[in-house]
Amino acid sequence: MALPFPARAACLALALACLVGTLAGTPAEARRSASAPRPAEAEAEPAGAWTAGVAQAPTCSRTRRKLWQADEGWVVKTISTCR
């Protein structure tokens, strides 16, 4: 025996509301978890030191830059850039 359309729609709406309520959680649970901070968990000590490999020597270059200064005019400076 099939339910009439309004009763079937009401049952589906109730089932959907129950499903959404269980997936989203209740507002009381959200307030409780937001207001009561959890105790800090002990941070794990690292097992050992590791490196990503042998450090490469920096690549440095020296270039000349021109800088305009109002009282001196053009000033040329040599700067070092390392990567």
Domains of the chain, by residue range, sit at 1-34
**pLDDT, tens digit (0-9, with 9 covering 90-100), for 24-65:** 555 666 566 555 555 555 566 667 777 667 777 889 999 999
* Residue % of the chain over a pLDDT of 70: 55
Task: In whole angstroms, give the CA distance from residue 29 to residue 47.
Answer: 37
What single-letter amino acid sits at 38?
R
In 3D space, the residue among 79, 52, 55, 83 whose CA is nearest the CA of residue 65 turns out to be 79
Return the structure tokens found at 83: 């990567």
pLDDT the model gives residue 76: 95
Contact 83, 59 (CB under 8 A): yes
The pTM score is 0.28
| H helix or E strand, kind and range, residue 79 | strand 73-82
